[in-house]
Amino acid sequence: METGFIGLGAMGKYMAINLSKAGYLKTVFNRTTKKTEIFKKEYKCLVSNSPSELATRCRLIIISVSRDQDVLDIVKQLITKISSNSIIVDTSTTSSKTAKKATDLLKKVNSYFLDAPVSGGVEGAKNGTLAMMVGGEKQVLKEARPVLNVIAKNIVHIGPTGSGQATKAVNQIMAAGMNQAVTEALAFGEAMNLPMEKVIKIVSTGAAGNWFLDHRGETMLSGKFEPGFKLSLHQKDLSICQSMVGSISENALPIIEMTLIHYKKLIDDGYGDEDISALFRLKQANLKK
């Protein structure tokens, strides 16, 4: 199925590259035209000047952008030119409410929306090994799955519209918890003057072993925070989670609240574009005498 891709950011670029290599990618659009021109030179595809133009060229459209309003603005442009029975797959992280609004807009033109946020960071996008959690009609996912298999190793249909984004919220809260635990524990180990390479090696083989420790432990101890997942984007996602919690309970979730406070401090200090493991900076500072 010929596919259009919207959003050539850190994640989107690699998803589009994998689609191109597999022969599915027909056209791309990005607000910053420089990115599309660079992409076009290396990968054979058409460059669309707008989402509405892209909609005239393919039935399957994948979106990867940063903000809820961006998704809705794109969908509003798509529906002006989109063909009936088109499928829009949104891999962005947004609220369930946004997914439902987008679905309602597309229903008016007899087309479909899947909220399909992904997890796995830039590494997963580059390697085509992302995890994808999908909300929407199961039959629609079945039709799009051959294309989506190129960018995601594990694809699970969660349930109706919005459930994909709700599941991603679960993921982002867990990610915050792991970030808090790993950075704090390693800062403690460092302050105790332990041989940290050995600590990571043995801890990672036990019950406390996890992906974040394996992939970020050594780099944070070396003071390297190249973004696999930007801290500022996780802050945005956790703000969405905070809002979702507020819609179901009067009680806040401590992990969300604490992490947002810490991230604000780091962003104010100029670290918003670093990896979320930059939280280690605060943990180190907290343990200094």
Q: Which residue has the tokens 């979702």?
A: 244
Asked whether the beta carbons of 280 and 183 are under 8 A apart, the reply is yes
Q: What is the residue-level pLDDT of the chain in tens, covering all 289 positions?
A: 899 999 999 999 999 999 999 999 999 999 999 999 999 999 989 999 999 999 999 999 999 999 999 999 999 999 999 999 999 999 999 999 999 999 999 999 999 999 999 999 999 999 999 999 999 999 999 999 999 999 999 999 999 999 999 999 999 999 999 999 999 999 999 999 999 999 999 999 999 999 999 999 999 999 999 998 999 999 999 999 999 999 999 999 999 999 999 999 999 999 999 999 999 999 999 998 7
d(CA 84, CA 86): 6
User: Which residues are CB-neighbours of 22 under 8 A, at least 6 positions away?
Assistant: 147, 150
Contact 242/256 with Cβ under 8 angstroms?
A: yes
Predicted local distance difference test score (pLDDT) of residue 116? 99
As to burial, measured by CB atoms within 10 angstroms (0-12 exposed, 13-18 middle, 19+ buried), residue 168 is: buried
Instruction: Give the Cα separation of 165 and 98 in Å (integer).
Output: 9
At residue 176, the pLDDT reads 98
Phi-psi region of 152 (alpha: psi -120 to 50; beta: other; left: phi over 0): beta
What pLDDT, on a 0 to 100 scale, did the predictor assign at position 44?
85
**Measured CA distances, 58 to 25, 46, 52, 83, 166 (Å):** 9, 11, 11, 8, 28
Label residue 170 exposed, middle or buried (CB < 10 Å: 0-12, 13-18, 19+).
Answer: exposed
Residues serving a catalytic function are 168
Q: Which long-range contacts (CB under 8 A, 24 or more apart) does 200-208 make?
A: none
Which pTM was predicted? 0.93
Domains of the chain, start order: 3-160 (3.40.50.720), 166-287 (1.10.1040.10)
| pLDDT for the residue 288 | 87
Which residues, at least 6 apart from 207, have a Cβ–Cβ distance to it below 8 Å? none
